[in-house]
């Protein structure tokens, strides 16, 4: 089997390429730019292209499948050559489905929490030695890489993204997976570059719900009012088992979260109302895989979280530093609330606006009061990133007005942000860094070392 990846450097794309090579496939790929960790991972797997760029001469008749990444354009020279030769061209979710037709497919969708829920399910199944494949958007402790597709495992856990599947396919990725068990964690408008109308965004989740198969399962957050209304108005086959969930029962004692829902009280590392809901969603899925409530809680006690999902970078006894992937308004608010509610210390919260949505002037008001529970709040954005995305320029004053709170400072220079964060006296204060980016390569490790 010969497979070629156009835009092999993507987060999922490069991990899928490595997985297929491990299955014995002949794998090649191209990209115009490849960054870490994909660069090192591909090099280690001997899959790193000799040079960056697009090379139509790589596209030959003996290729069985061309997998097209979102980073490529419709006029990509390798894509045009593949079309000319009549080769089979797949988006990565289409190809993943073709590899998993004989498996039970669990698809975790939602505007927030899907990476964490997927990771929790994977962790619990691994804990009980239940063989599973998976595709998830972040690295997980104890798991070699975030994509695993074998011939043997009877079940696969798929993080289901609502974003477009490929430059040739504007349907959301999660529809291609054709779930047997579907999970929706909640709905909050995102990806306004492809869904500029909120109703169109919500419509994608209607399609997901209504694609639930006969005798399938649909698990959803009963705490999300928008989602509850959507479930009610959707046409769902009468024999689909529709299961609402709420957060697991717990208590916080001395800065520790203790689950009280099982037969015994169990301390867990993951905290916050949103993560207690994530646990509940994962538990409902695991029940369908013959893992009892008590078995789930025993296993989840050792779950340390997915990479950059409430990741603890440092703890010196009086100050904790967390890094989180939060970037959409609902995620930011939930993450800030979780840290503020968990600890008695004051909270310094720092958010980078990095995504297309967050840097769009008409969307900024969605962030109003999202940092209100922080004692000190910082927002950073890079004007060059705004320009690079082809967006209308925004000012620091506009951002400050949109967030609508007094204790907020806005920065457009990572050096100024670094200096401001470094000058804070962190005794009995915690720091929360939130971004789907890298703060323009601000030396976070140096900052953490100074604090701790």
Q: How far is CA 279 from CA 247, 298, 312, 361, in A?
A: 7, 12, 19, 35
The single-letter DSSP state of residue 222 is T
Can you read off the two tokens belonging to residue 247? Answer: 């957060």
Tell me if 275 sits within 8 A of 283, measured CB to CB.
no
C-alpha–C-alpha distance, residues 433 and 259, integer Å: 26
Locate the DSSP E strands across 316-383.
320-324, 346-352, 376-380
Q: What are phi and psi of 430, to 5 degrees?
A: -110, 150
**Which H/E stretch holds residue 153?**
none
DSSP 140: B
State residue 139's pLDDT score: 79
pLDDT number for residue 105: 98
Give average pLDDT by consecutive 10-residue segment, the chain, 452 residues.
Answer: 97 96 97 93 96 96 97 96 98 97 97 93 97 90 89 97 94 97 94 90 96 96 94 89 95 90 90 92 97 96 84 90 90 92 91 93 94 96 93 95 94 96 94 92 92 83
């Amino acid at each position: 089997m010969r497979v070629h990846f156009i835009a092999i450097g993507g987060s999922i794309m490069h991990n899928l390429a490595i997985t297929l090579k491990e299955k014995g496939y002949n794998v090649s790929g191209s990209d115009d730019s490849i960054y870490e960790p994909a660069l090192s991972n591909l090099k280690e797997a001997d899959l790193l292209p000799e040079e960056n760029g697009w090379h139509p001469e790589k596209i030959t008749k003996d290729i069985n499948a061309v997998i097209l990444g979102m980073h490529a354009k419709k006029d990509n020279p390798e894509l045009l050559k593949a079309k000319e030769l009549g080769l089979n061209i797949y988006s990565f979710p289409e190809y993943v489905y073709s590899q998993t037709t004989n498996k039970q497919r669990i698809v975790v969708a939602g505007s927030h929490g899907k990476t964490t829920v997927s990771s929790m399910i994977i962790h619990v199944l691994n804990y009980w030695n239940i063989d599973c494949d998976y595709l998830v958007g972040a690295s997980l402790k104890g798991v070699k890489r975030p994509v695993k597709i074998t011939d043997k495992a009877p079940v696969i856990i798929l993080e289901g993204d609502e974003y477009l599947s490929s430059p040739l396919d504007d349907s959301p990725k999660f529809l291609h997976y054709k779930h047997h068990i579907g999970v929706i964690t909640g709905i909050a408008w995102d990806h306004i570059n492809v869904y500029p109308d909120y109703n169109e965004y919500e419509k994608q989740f209607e399609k997901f719900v209504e694609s639930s198969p006969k005798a399938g399962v649909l698990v959803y957050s009963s705490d999300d009012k928008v989602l509850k209304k959507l479930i009610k108005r959707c046409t769902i086959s009468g024999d689909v088992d529709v299961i609402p969930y709420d957060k697991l029962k717990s208590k916080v004692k001395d800065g520790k979260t203790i689950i009280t829902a099982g037969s015994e009280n169990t301390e867990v590392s993951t905290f916050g109302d949103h993560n207690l809901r994530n646990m509940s969603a994962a538990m409902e899925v695991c029940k369908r895989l013959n893992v009892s409530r008590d078995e789930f809680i025993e296993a989840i006690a050792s779950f340390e979280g997915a990479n950059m999902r409430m990741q603890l970078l440092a703890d010196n006894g009086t100050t904790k530093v967390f890094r989180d992937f939060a970037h959409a308004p609902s995620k930011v608010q939930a993450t800030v609330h979780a840290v503020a509610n968990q600890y008695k210390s004051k909270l310094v919260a720092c958010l980078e606006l990095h995504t297309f949505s967050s840097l769009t002037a008409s969307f900024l008001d969605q962030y109003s009061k999202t940092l209100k529970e922080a004692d000190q709040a910082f927002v950073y954005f890079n004007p060059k990133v705004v320009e690079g995305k082809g967006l209308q320029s925004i000012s620091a004053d506009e951002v400050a007005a949109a967030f609508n709170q007094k204790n907020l400072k806005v920065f457009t220079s990572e050096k100024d942000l670094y200096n401001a964060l470094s000058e804070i006296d962190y005794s009995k204060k915690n720091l929360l860094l939130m971004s789907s980016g890298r703060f323009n390569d601000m030396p976070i490790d140096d900052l953490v070392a100074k604090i701790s």
